[in-house]
Structure 1
């Protein structure tokens, strides 16, 4: 198989396809390093909670290291999760146009090789996790149960995006676990807001595959909401902004954090206005833009933390 044909359908022209050694490319594709948007989206709630918790503690001395560790952890654990997802979905992926070129269904790697690669990534993630306190370590390990069951949810429920939200929003708890050694109500409300955000943006993403999913019996909120997706996004994005706002109020956030939330909300509103579920390329662009939405909120929280620590 030529390297051009080995590329995943929606990720051509990235550094994995052009710069990485040939032998490493299938493994990097398993980890989605050719499509890092998912890692960024996993990272955003981690950074939100780290900044908000540091602001509440009026202490940012540990924040730079926490930001770096969360960055590394998010990328390797998302890679491990994607590898596990591809292992469990290898037969389904062969039936979907966008995913049949992934390393497992296309035969670039074997299942045993994928399992070994997943273990390597999980070990790196464990090394990162061990840099934190015991409560944070236990909190991080607890997320693995959700990660393990997520790939099976689209076979049994119309709401797999909710389970993804539980997993991808876990970082909203981690910042508080690292900073305070506990999870309080502010963290739980931030977590709930992040879950609602994930349901929204992953519904947009799932519209790329809705026709193929219908043919092979895969369930998703994209198929469930259908032509009513924009109304559903108004609900879920609206709830996300409201709950994050409650978390900010609970954490006594100052004006930079609220400005960040306003920019975040404006970005989500722009997505809803722009959405056309029949345009797969647009759905992908809007989905990816959520990294920028998350960074806007993080910027506000970070400035707030610095101001409160001064």
Structure 2
């Protein structure tokens, strides 16, 4: 008699188990929430084999069975790993990304490769574009909504392409890091060739958006520099302890491209402080983020500012945060933005200070949560620019 035992942590169950001994064990009363486990309702031998294959790919899956005197047995899947390991620790109960529920199975690995289940990264790429587009608006006017929409698409596709090339180049390192070992290329769910084909598709979409934006020669040059930075970023963690600084160069290059798309030129008195502010902001949030993986990074032999700063991290990121706020203020002054901008900037300063002061750098969960809140910092700066421009 074949027997399989899968156990995991569950707040309601002290032990979770599934025994494949006879077809009758999997009666119609059993509810299988994950489509990948529905074949268990078939023959006994096939059920066990498929469950073993599934569990070998996703060992964090917890399957629970319980019964009572008044109710029939049921199967309950508490945690299903679909490429996103929440903040470096086990997934919380019932934390199933939407892509596992709404997308066809063949598309799900590609969606996770592009991090569609982790939208905060797209916001962090988009905000620098939005900041400069809002600053480029004429006094008394809101930003150009068409340009905002197109750059939202640009940021979405560019971020997906960046994640794909990052996972392609880091697929061997990702296998050694708890938070990333289930990514599609690291786990073998997708082949490297499939990843490269998907990358080409994403880059084609980026180019299409550029055509819709009607970028001139300067715009296409800035776009090409952006792609070069995106493609070379994954290599930085191999050669320097400052990959977070390089990431700042990558993500915030959008401040130049967004302004140029509206104005056709570059005003460096406004854009350089804005660009530098974004770089130092990135150093804050991505250093916090890197603390999730510091133990695994040491084993894998990759570098980060989290490892470089160690116990002095909070002093460093506090300095980065102050520099970022100072540069944002300087950019606003040079752009002659009205007083609401500084009110929003004060609120954003409080949000950034809260991150630095309360971050528990020894807790992967808290580091991940603090990282996620940076979409609100970006929103506060954008709201301040829009409000300040309306009365300037």
Bin for the TM-score computed over the shorter chain? over 0.9
TM alignment of 1:1-310, pairs within 5 A: 2=54, 4-10=80-86, 12-54=95-137, 57-58=138-139, 60=141, 63-130=144-211, 131-134=213-216, 135-185=218-268, 186-308=270-392
- 8 A contact 1:146–1:167 mirrored in 2: yes
Quote the Cα distance in structure 1 between the aligned partners of 2:214 and 2:254: 14
Quote the Cα distance in structure 1 between the aligned partners of 2:120 and 2:147: 20
Q: Deviations over 1:229-257 (max 9, x none)?
A: 11111110110000111100000010121
Query: What is the Cα-based RMSD across aligned positions, in Å?
Result: 1.5
- 8 A contact 2:99–2:117 mirrored in 1: yes
Quote the Cα distance in structure 1 between the aligned partners of 2:101 and 2:253: 33
**What is the SS of the residue equivalent to 1:155?**
helix
Change (3 A) 1:60 1:125: farther
* Superposed displacement of residue 145, structure 1: 1.2
Change (3 A) 1:229 1:25: same
* Superposed displacement of residue 210, structure 1: 0.3
Q: Report the structure number with the largest CA radius of gyration.
A: 2
**What is the SS of the residue equivalent to 2:136?**
helix
* Superposed displacement of residue 53, structure 1: 1.3
* Superposed displacement of residue 184, structure 1: 1.8
Change (3 A) 1:303 1:182: same
Structure 1 or 2: larger helix share?
Answer: 1
Change (3 A) 1:137 1:73: same
TM-score between both structures, scaled by the size of structure 2: 0.75
Which structure carries more relative contact order (alpha carbon 8 Å, separation 6+)? 1
**What is the SS of the residue equivalent to 2:116?**
coil
User: Match for residue 16 of structure 2?
Assistant: none
TM-score between both structures, scaled by the size of structure 1: 0.95
How many residue pairs align between the two structures?
A: 306
Quote the Cα distance in structure 2 between the aligned partners of 1:73 and 1:59: 27
